[in-house]
Amino acid sequence: MSKIKAAIFASGTGSNFEAIMETEHLACDIALLVCDQSSAGVIAKADKYGIPAFVFDAKQFPDKTAYEKAIIDRLEESEVSWIFLAGYMRIAGPTLLNRYEGRIVNIHPSLLPAFPGMDAIGQAYRAGVKTTGVTVHFIDEGIDTGPIIAQEEVAILQDDTEESLTKRVHKVEHQLYPKVINQLLQTK
């Protein structure tokens, strides 16, 4: 039986992309990378794993609907049925949300609903909270909102720097995301 095909959407360095690719017994085949930044490090990582990349420049399209239609065409060509966002810096619109309803998942480096948006690890560090973490959630039209699937806590230690905290949060992300992907797909 062939595996479910999924796409990863990412705009950055792609450490989560890599963690997913390195997972033994992943319950899906990663069929495509979708990326909106032509200089993103994740593109070279996709190349290394032989994953085709759809790299687009949103400015070349009249609006979000138009570029999301182009993305959907490419996803359908690759028979993608699930989307995993990993550092994708765009808010999905109704075109993409409706086509992949209930099958678009994001990872965010905080315990949502605390610290949504950019620089979530820095936000938590500067706020002086004792615990932050990682959230995997279904997306909606908001910024880091939508039903939560899984969370894991990360303690902020007395002698943590933002850098040491960032490392620990990312380590948790890299373990949690593949685990949650497998749990989600195995119950389908």
Residue 177 CA to residue 110 CA, distance in Å, equals 13
Is residue 43 at the binding interface for ligand GRF, with CB under 6 A as the rule? Answer: no
Orientation angle between helical segments 162-186 and 120-127, nearest 10 degrees: 130
- Interface pick for ligand GRF out of 33, 107, 156, 165 (rule CB under 6 A): 107
- Taking the alpha carbons at both ends of the chain, their separation in whole angstroms is 14
Q: Please list, residue by residue across 100-122, b when 16 or more beta carbons sit within 10 angstroms of its beta carbon and e when fewer do.
A: beebbbbbbbbbbeebeeeebbe
- Minimum CB distance to ligand GRF, residue 118 (Å): 9
Is residue 86 at the binding interface for ligand GRF, with CB under 6 A as the rule? Answer: yes
Is residue 34 at the binding interface for ligand GRF, with CB under 6 A as the rule? Answer: no
- Interface pick for ligand GRF out of 4, 6, 7, 15 (rule CB under 6 A): 15
Residue 42 CA to residue 31 CA, distance in Å, equals 15
- Interface pick for ligand GRF out of 173, 176, 180, 181 (rule CB under 6 A): 173
- Minimum CB distance to ligand GRF, residue 62 (Å): 27
Is residue 137 at the binding interface for ligand GRF, with CB under 6 A as the rule? Answer: no
Is residue 116 at the binding interface for ligand GRF, with CB under 6 A as the rule? Answer: no
- Active-site residue numbers? 108
Peptide bond connecting 113 to the previous residue in cis, omega within 30 degrees of 0: yes
Is residue 12 at the binding interface for ligand GRF, with CB under 6 A as the rule? Answer: yes
Give burial (CB, 10 Å; 0-12/13-18/19+) of 59.
exposed
The region of 1-9, 12-20, 72-80, 92-100 touching ligand GRF under the rule CB under 6 A is 12-20
Task: Name the site residues for ligand GRF (rule: CB under 6 A).
Answer: 10, 12-17, 42, 86-87, 107-109, 173
